Amino acid sequence: MVKSLASPPHRILLFLQQSSVEWCSSLWLDSIREIDPTFRRTVIVVSKFDNRLKEFSDRWEVDHYLSASGYLGETTRPFFVALPKDRSTVSNDEFRRQISQVDSEVLGYLHDGIKGGYDEEKFKPYIGFCSLREYLESELQKRYKEAAPATLALLEQRCSEVNIELERLDSKIQATSDVSHLRKSAMMHAASISNHVGVLIDGAADPAPEQWGKTTEEERSESGIGSWPGVTVDIKPANAILRLYGGAAFERVMHEFRCAAYSIECPPVSREKVANILLAHAGRGGGRGVAEAAAEIARTAARSWLAPLLDTACDRLAFVLGNLFDIAIERNRSRESEYGRKTGDMEGYVGFHAALRHAYNSIIKDLAKQCKQLVRHHLDSVTSPYSQVFYENDFHGSFGSSANSYFRHNQASAGSIWFELSDCGQVSHDERMRDQENIPPENNARQKTPGKGMEARDVHRESQMTVPETPSPDQPCDGVKVDVGPRKRIARIGNRNPEQLMKVHNGGSLLFGNGDCGSRSAYTEICSLAAQHFARIREVLVERSVTSTLNSGFLTPCRDRLVVELGLDLFAVNDEKFMDMFVSPAAIEVLQHKRQSLQNRQKVLQSCLTEFKNIARSL
C-alpha cells in the first residue's frame, strides 16, 4: 500500500528515520530506492538528533555523520531535527517557540560543544526543524509554480465537461415530455444499429473478432442446438476454430450444413418395407413396380432424414444473426466515441433498449420461421412424384454431357421413370423382361429365348415353369425359369453400359450409377435405385434450393428491411404507448438525482478553479 501511494511521480516522499539507526541497517531505505532510485523527490529527515550529538567530540566525526557519505550519494542531503521533550499540552505558539529553542540549542552545541565546530556553510541549512519547514515550503511553492499552467488547464477542462454534462442532462429531463424529440432520437439510434448489422453481414473486423466472435463449437454449445440430427460423424467445417461473426459465421454454418447433408446416405430399407411397396404395384401392370418402389423409398427417406437438418440449419443461422445485435451496439458505441458524435442520445433509457432488443430478436425468429417453411416447401417439392420429369430432363440436359457431371445415365428400362435418356430408342424385349421380376406372369410366359425356336421353347416350358404362391422381392416371378438364366443376363448386359459408383468429393455427396443389375434381385435393384434417387434429391435440395433460399430469407431482410421492420415494431404506435419506453416516475427521479450530483460537483470544481487562480497569481 505504501509503495502504491508513493509511486505517482508528482508526489514528494518524506522519509523519517531516528538518528540511532545506522544507514547500513535501514530497511526502508532500500524500499525508497526502489520507488525513487536517485532520491530526486525524496526528503530524508533524521529525528532525535540531540540524542546523537553526545557521541561526537571532534569536527571530523560530525562532518562525516552529517554527510552520510557512502549511503545517500554526494547530491543527497538529509535533514537533522530534534523536537521538544516537554509532552504537556501547550498552545501552538508555545510549541513553535519551543521548537525554535531546541534548534538554537542544537546549533549552539555544534558550534561550541564540538572541538573545531562543524562545516556551517555546508550543513547548517539542513539542521533544525525550521530549516526543514523552509525547505518544504519553498519546494512546494516551486512545484506548484511549475504545475500551475497544467493544473489550471485541467481544472478548466473538468469544469467545462461538467457544464456540458449538466446541460445534456437538463435537455434529457426536458425531453422526457417532448415526444417528437424522443421519436427522432430513437429512430436515429435504431437506424444506426440496423446499418451496423448490415455492415457486419457484408464483412467487418471491428470490433475485434478475437473478443466478439465465436468458434463452431462455441456456437453449438451456446445456441443449445448441439450436433446435427441424424449425423453420426463429427462435422468439422473449414475455419471451425476461428472466431467469426456476421457474414463469415453465416457462410461457415452454410458450409457445415452442406457437409452434414452430404454425410447422410439413403438409409437401409428392410425387405418387408420393399415387399409392401413393390407388391402393391404388382397388379397394376405397366412394368414400373421396381422404379416406383425405389422412388417412393427415396422420397420417404429424404423427408425423414433431411427435414431435421433443414430446421437445425435455420436455428443455427438465426443464432448467428441474433449475436449481431450486441456486436452492432458495441460497434455503434465505439464509432460514437471515436468521432465524438452521437446518433440519437439514448443512454440511460433502459426501457427503449430492452424494446429494441426484443424487436430485433422477434424479427430474427420470424425470419427463421419463414425460412423453415420455405425450405420445407422445397423439400416437399423435390420429393413430390410430380417433379420426376423435371429431374429426368434437368439432370440429363445439364449434367449428362459435362465432364464434371454428377450422374452418367445409361440405357434404362422403359418403365424406369428416373432414367429417361434422349438417345434411347425402342426398348428391347429383354429390358422389358428385366422389369417383370416380381410381377405375376401374364403373356410374357410365352416369350421366346434368343437363339431358340418356338419348338424347343415349348418342349421345356412345361417342365421349367414355376408359379410361386406369393411374389417375393428376392424371387424372380416372370413365369419362365429359363428366361432369367445366364443367356438372359448376357443379353441384358450386352445392351447396357455398366455404371460406376462415383463419390463427388466437392460437397461429399455419393452419387450412384445404374450398375449391372441384371443378376441382382428386385430388392437389390430397388436399394440401388433408391440410393441414386436419394442422392439426386439431396443434390438438388442442397445446391439449388436451400442455399439461395436461406441467403435470401435471412441476409436480404437484414440488409434491406431491418430498419423498416424495427420502425414498424417500435414507432408505429400512438404517443402514449411510445412514451411507455421512456417515461416512468423512477426514471425521472434518477435523472434528477444525477443532475443534483452534477451541480454539487460543478460548484466544487468552480471553487477549486477560483482558488487555484488566486494561488497562481501569488506564486
Q: Three-state SS string across 29-57, please?
A: HHHHHHHCCCCCCEEEEEECHHHHHHHCC
Q: What is the pLDDT of residue 491?
A: 37
Is the CB of residue 306 less than 8 Å from the CB of residue 261?
yes
E-state strands within 48-161: 79-80
Is the CB of residue 589 less than 8 Å from the CB of residue 136?
no
Least confident of 72-81, 188-197, 373-382, 401-410: 401-410
For residues 36 and 112, membership in a common domain is answered with yes
User: Does 307 reside within a domain?
Assistant: yes
Specify the higher pLDDT residue, 362 or 616.
362
Question: What is the span of the domain harbouring residue 587?
Answer: 148-177+583-618
3-state per-residue secondary structure call for 263-300? CCCCCCCCHHHHHHHHHHCCCCCCCCHHHHHHHHHHHH
Q: What is the pLDDT of residue 619?
A: 67
111: cell is 558550534
Is the CB of residue 321 less than 8 Å from the CB of residue 250?
yes
pLDDT digits (tens, 9 = 90+) for 227-261: 899 888 888 888 999 999 999 999 999 999 999 99
For residues 257 and 375, membership in a common domain is answered with yes
Least confident of 61-65, 513-517, 526-530, 554-558: 513-517
Q: Decide: residue 478, CB within 10 A, 0-12 exposed, 13-18 middle, 19+ buried.
A: buried
Indicate the pLDDT class of residue 566, thresholds 50, 70 and 90. Answer: very high
**Average pLDDT along the chain:** 76
For residues 94 and 117, membership in a common domain is answered with yes
pLDDT digits (tens, 9 = 90+) for 447-486: 443 334 444 444 444 444 444 444 444 444 443 333 333 3
- The residues that bridge with 322 in the sheet, in sequence order, are none
63: cell is 562532518
User: Does 518 reside within a domain?
Assistant: no
CA–CA distance, 595 with 248 (Å, rounded to integer): 45
User: Does 443 reside within a domain?
Assistant: no
For residues 72 and 221, membership in a common domain is answered with no
pLDDT digits (tens, 9 = 90+) for 99-112: 899 889 888 888 88
Q: What is the pLDDT of residue 548?
A: 92
For residues 234 and 110, membership in a common domain is answered with no
For residues 41 and 163, membership in a common domain is answered with no
pTM: 0.55
User: Does 457 reside within a domain?
Assistant: no
Least confident of 35-44, 315-324, 364-373, 512-521: 512-521
| 446-450 contacts at long range (C-beta below 8 A, 24 or more positions apart) | 447/480, 447/483, 449/482, 449/483, 449/487, 449/488, 450/487, 450/491
Asked whether residue 583 carries a pLDDT value surpassing 80, the answer given is no
Is the CB of residue 14 less than 8 Å from the CB of residue 81?
no
Structurally, how many domains does the chain consist of?
3
DSSP per-residue letters across 563-580: HHHHHHHHHSS-HHHHHT
For residues 567-577, average pLDDT: 89
Least confident of 8-22, 42-56, 210-224, 440-454: 440-454
For residues 21 and 101, membership in a common domain is answered with yes
Q: Of 318, 305, 311, 316, whose CA–CA distance to 376 is shortest? A: 311
pLDDT digits (tens, 9 = 90+) for 26-67: 777 778 888 888 888 888 888 888 888 888 888 888 888 888
Least confident of 273-277, 370-374, 435-439: 435-439
Specify the higher pLDDT residue, 528 or 457.
528
List alpha helices for 383-503, DSSP H: 388-399, 429-434, 454-464, 486-494
Domain boundary among 95, 127, 159: 127
| 196-200, 204-208, 504-508, 526-530: range with highest mean pLDDT | 196-200
For residues 244 and 373, membership in a common domain is answered with yes
Question: N- to C-terminal Cα distance for the chain?
Answer: 33
Specify the higher pLDDT residue, 13 or 388.
13
User: Does 445 reside within a domain?
Assistant: no
For residues 613 and 563, membership in a common domain is answered with no
Least confident of 1-10, 292-301, 564-573: 1-10
Which 3 state secondary structure label does DSSP give 584? coil
Q: What is the pLDDT of residue 145?
A: 83
User: Does 191 reside within a domain?
Assistant: no
User: Does 438 reside within a domain?
Assistant: no
Is the CB of residue 378 less than 8 Å from the CB of residue 542?
no
Asked whether residue 12 carries a pLDDT value surpassing 80, the answer given is yes
Q: Of 399, 417, 478, 471, whose CA–CA distance to 442 is shortest? A: 478
For residues 92 and 169, membership in a common domain is answered with no
pLDDT digits (tens, 9 = 90+) for 119-168: 888 888 889 989 999 999 888 888 888 888 888 889 999 999 999 989 88
For residues 587 and 565, membership in a common domain is answered with no
Asked whether residue 414 carries a pLDDT value surpassing 50, the answer given is no
Least confident of 86-90, 122-126, 157-161, 427-431: 427-431
pLDDT digits (tens, 9 = 90+) for 603-615: 999 998 888 888 7
% of the chain surpassing 70 pLDDT: 74
Q: What is the pLDDT of residue 285?
A: 55
For residues 74 and 171, membership in a common domain is answered with no
CA dihedral 516→520→521→523, nearest 10 degrees, is -60
CA–CA distance, 246 with 172 (Å, rounded to integer): 34
User: Does 447 reside within a domain?
Assistant: no
